[in-house]
């Protein structure tokens, strides 16, 4: 009798485990490791999904009573300036963003290789080493990303700033003065703009650079 009860119970538990929704990088419930990429769509008309938290790999807004809190957010879209990404959102945060353009890493073309190899966004190969932003290119070579050299310079004073999202462009961001990074240099992240629907949404692919504090 006991075995007859346990079998349906175990089956029900297994079914529930399969059906139950798992946290994804878009819901802000799972953290990401440096180098792990995530995709998030920021929506202007929904403040709860208008900001991104690079540590969570998802949304960075919280409901605090009847107000929206951005204590975890590095970027938001359209909340403070229509059509613009805003950053340096927190009280003591110092932040800088560099636009390195639509930078891609071309593949090596072999005469006998018939496989099509599209160019990769530099975002996928970027890292941070010896206070320099670097990227990899075939065949397994590392280069300094000169376009991002100024990211290690003096950061502006705290205060909200804005940039225009450009589809296909890669941006490098450094920030400090926030709870998630105690290092005096700060943290270095990067993102590329995948899509913009003016006045509605901005889709990003981003990551914390490997090697960043």
For residues 41-68, b (16+ Cβ closer than 10 Å) or e, as one string?
Answer: bbbbeebebbbbbbbbbbbbbbeeeeeb
What pLDDT shows up at residue 182?
Answer: 80
Kindly report the length of the chain: 213
- Whether omega before 13 lies within 30 degrees of 0, making that bond cis, reads no
pLDDT band at 14 (very low <50, low <70, confident <90, very high): very low
Helices (runs of H) and strands (runs of E) counted in the chain: 1, 17
Domain residue spans of the chain: 21-208
For residue 213, pLDDT over 60 is answered with yes
pTM of the model: 0.82
Distances in Å between the alpha carbon of 98 and those of 62, 145, 148, 149, 165?
Answer: 27, 11, 6, 9, 12
User: Per residue in 184-198, pLDDT tens?
Assistant: 999 999 999 999 999
Is 151 strand, coil or helix? Answer: helix
Is 195 strand, coil or helix? Answer: strand
Q: Which one, of 59, 57, 85, lies nearest residue 71 by Cα?
A: 59
Judged by average pLDDT, the poorest of 61-70, 145-154, 178-187 is: 178-187
């Amino acid at each position: 009798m006991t075995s007859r009860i346990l079998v349906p119970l175990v089956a029900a538990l297994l079914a529930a485990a399969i059906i139950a929704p798992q946290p994804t990088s878009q819901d802000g419930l799972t953290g990401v490791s440096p180098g792990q990429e995530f995709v998030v769509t920021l929506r202007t008309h929904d403040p709860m999904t208008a900001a991104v938290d690079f540590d969570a790999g998802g949304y960075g807004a919280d409901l605090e009573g009847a107000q929206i809190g951005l204590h975890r957010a590095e970027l938001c879209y359209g909340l403070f300036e229509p059509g613009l990404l805003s950053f340096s959102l927190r009280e003591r945060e110092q932040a800088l963003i560099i636009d390195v353009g639509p930078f891609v890493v071309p593949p090596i073309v072999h005469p006998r290789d018939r496989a099509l190899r599209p160019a990769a966004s530099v975002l996928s190969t970027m890292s941070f080493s010896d206070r320099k932003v670097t990227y990899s290119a075939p065949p397994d070579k590392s280069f300094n990303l000169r376009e991002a050299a100024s990211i290690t310079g003096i950061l502006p004073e705290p205060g909200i700033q804005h940039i225009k999202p450009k589809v296909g462009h890669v941006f490098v961001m450094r920030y400090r003065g926030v709870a998630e990074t105690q290092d005096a240099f700060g943290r270095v992240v990067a993102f590329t703009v995948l899509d913009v629907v003016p006045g509605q949404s901005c889709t990003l692919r981003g990551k914390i650079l490997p090697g960043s504090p």
